[in-house]
Amino acid sequence: MIDRQNLQAFHPFTRLRSLLEDLEPGPAPLGASEPLALSIGEPKGQPPAFVAEEIAANAAGWSGYPPARGTPAFLEACRGWLERRYDIAPGILDPQRHILALPGTREGLFFATMATVPQQRDENGAPPVVLIPSPFYHVYAGAAVSAGAEPVFLPTSSETGFLPDYQSVPEEILERTALCILCSPSNPQGAAANRWQLADLLTLARKNGFVVAFDECYAEIYTRTPPAGALDVVDQLGGSLDNLLVFHSLSKRSNAAGLRCGFAAGDEKLITALNALLLVGGAGVPRPILAAATRLWQDDGHVEDIRAFYRQNFEIAQEVLGNRFGFSIPDGGFFLWLDVGDGEAAAKKLWQEAGIRVLPGAYMSVADSEGYNPGAKYVRIALVFDAEVTKAALGRIAEIL
């Protein structure tokens, strides 16, 4: 049971801190004086230099409140990128009606959950349901319980291609479902859903009257071909955006997690409802930031370099790990999801012997009613440092485990 009055206790990094707090870290790789945090998925590279230039050039905008939905130029840049990146017919996305600036996908997903979960219980007194893959980004479950919904976790594993099996969700749950959140490419496993899987999910949502929030914040960090996104299947399902919201972000795409800028796109009714909530409780995106973000969404060149950086780190992982710990290069993202038998024990050992912090998979997922936790065997390792550090750290990890 996740307690909305005590979300801190459920936070993966709180749990990691209490796991390691009484243990002395061992000597870190490459003789570094500080332990090495491979637990946090935070880019270490910088955004392009033009970000600082745009912010400075638009400094007059700091005195005003952020515009309600984003500037027309920003919304147009988002539309342009979506139409370059996805196979969606021009004319379907109207920037003014179907796109909304967000101070990050985290905030967007949280408020979208508030906007889509009804306040009422059903005639049997049962709460609305939010379907969440397990393991998952902790915000999904935090948002679900904050909205008064019951989070229903759909376990994923190597056997399911690390994606939830929506066809096996019981009818009784589907009837109560208000929202389904799918992360593709997924954090932590880097698995991407294909067009058929995305179309099947959207069809199921329309049939049962629930909303799907597609968290596509890793859409640009891929290792081989660009992963499909929900907008790729809109045309084949009749060209409607009903029941659909996609979430995108500059945090990973442009090494700009601190900029706090993303956007949502999709169903006009949902965008309007999300905007209404953000106008009550959201910070908005300031004009100078929107100016920089407009340039970032217009430019794909810098993303090539960022993608190449993570691709090189995955190649290093392949060299060092081979096929041990169930490793193979994933579709996208920048995490290793290694089967180490017991993720908590491995996290303690890596900390004590090599000053390396990794996240036990159990802290990203929850146990089912029989006590089975699909993340328990795993650790998540963020490949965000440069090639030299990555190689040294993975070498130590392989030695120790």
Ligand X SMILES: Cc1ncc(COP(=O)(O)O)c(C=O)c1O
Q: Residue 380: enclosing H or E segment and its boundaries? A: strand 378-382
Sheet holding 359-360, edge to edge: 335-339, 378-382, 359-360
Residue 111 and residue 277: Cα distance in Å, rounded? 7
Residue 113 and residue 83: Cα distance in Å, rounded? 26
Binding part of the chain for ligand X, among 90-98, 104-112, 227-235, 340-348 by CB under 6 A, reads: 104-112
Instruction: For residue 390, state whether it binds ligand X (rule: CB under 6 A).
Output: no
Instruction: For residue 183, state whether it binds ligand X (rule: CB under 6 A).
Output: yes
Smaller CB separation from ligand X, 213 or 354: 213
Among 147, 217, 246, 291, binds ligand X (CB under 6 A): 217
Instruction: For residue 187, state whether it binds ligand X (rule: CB under 6 A).
Output: yes
Binding part of the chain for ligand X, among 103-111, 163-171, 351-359, 369-377 by CB under 6 A, reads: 103-111
Secondary structure (3-state) at 51? helix
Smaller CB separation from ligand X, 174 or 270: 270
Report 240-259 residues binding ligand X (CB under 6 A).
249, 251, 257
Report yes or no: 331 and 192 within 8 Å, Cβ to Cβ.
yes
Instruction: For residue 189, state whether it binds ligand X (rule: CB under 6 A).
Output: no
Instruction: For residue 262, state whether it binds ligand X (rule: CB under 6 A).
Output: yes
Residue 362 and residue 197: Cα distance in Å, rounded? 26
Binding part of the chain for ligand X, among 102-110, 112-120, 146-154, 311-319 by CB under 6 A, reads: 102-110
For every residue of 237-296, DSSP letters joined together read: TTS--TTEEEEEEHHHHTT-GGG--EEEEE-HHHHHHHHHHHHHH-----HHHHHHHHHH
Residues facing 130 on adjacent strands: 151, 179
Bridge-based pairing of strands 378-382 and 335-339 is antiparallel
Instruction: For residue 400, state whether it binds ligand X (rule: CB under 6 A).
Output: no
Residue 227 and residue 85: Cα distance in Å, rounded? 10
Instruction: For residue 37, state whether it binds ligand X (rule: CB under 6 A).
Output: no
Quote the least distance from Cβ 163 to ligand X, whole Å.
Answer: 14
Smaller CB separation from ligand X, 249 or 275: 249
Report yes or no: 327 and 338 within 8 Å, Cβ to Cβ.
yes
Instruction: For residue 137, state whether it binds ligand X (rule: CB under 6 A).
Output: yes
Binding part of the chain for ligand X, among 98-106, 205-213, 358-366, 367-375 by CB under 6 A, reads: 98-106
Residues that bind ligand X (CB under 6 A): 41, 104-106, 137, 183, 187, 215, 217, 249, 251, 257, 262
